[in-house]
Amino acid sequence: MRPCHILCLALAGFAAACEIQPSGTGSLLRRHPLEEQLRPPEGVEPREGIAAALLMDTSGSMEEEVTGEDGASTPKIVIARRAVVNLIRQFEDYARRHPDLPVAVGVFEFSARDRQPSCREVIPLGPPDAAAAGDAVQRMVPSGGIPIGDAII
User: If you compute the radius of gyration of the chain from its CA atoms, what whole number of angstroms results?
Assistant: 18
pLDDT digits (tens, 9 = 90+) for 55-113: 999 999 999 999 977 889 999 999 999 999 999 999 999 999 999 999 999 999 988 88
| Residue 14 and residue 89 in one domain | no
26 lies in the same domain as 40: yes
Q: Are residues 82 and 143 in the same domain?
A: yes
Non-local CB neighbours of 24 within 8 Å, separated by 6+ positions: none
Share of the chain above pLDDT 70, in %: 75
Which H/E stretch holds residue 55?
strand 50-57
pLDDT at 149: 72
CATH of the domain at 64: 3.40.50.410
Query: d(Cα 88, Cα 16) in Å, to the nearest integer?
Result: 26
Q: What is the pLDDT of residue 135?
A: 93
* Same domain, residue pair 104 and 127: yes
pLDDT attached to residue 102: 96
Pair (90, 63) in one structural domain: yes
- Could you tell me which residues are beta bridge partners of residue 73? 67
Q: Does 103 lie in the same domain as 58?
A: yes
For residue 151, the model assigns a pLDDT of: 61
**Of the ranges 9-13, 44-48, 61-65, the best mean pLDDT one:** 61-65
Residue 98 and residue 40 in one domain: no
In this structure, are 79 and 115 located in the same domain? yes
Q: Looking at residues 28-37, what average pLDDT do you find?
A: 66
What's the CA gap between 88 and 80, in Å, rounded? 12
Q: What's the predicted TM-score (pTM) here?
A: 0.69
Q: Which domain holds residue 5?
A: 1-44
Note whether 1 and 22 are same-domain residues: yes
Q: Specify the 3-state DSSP secondary structure of 124.
A: strand
pLDDT of residue 136: 94
Domains in the chain, number: 2
What is the predicted pLDDT for the residue at 73?
94
Q: Which of 16-25, 130-139, 143-152 has the lowest mean pLDDT?
A: 16-25
- 116 and 103 in one domain? yes
Q: Are 58 and 132 in the same domain?
A: yes
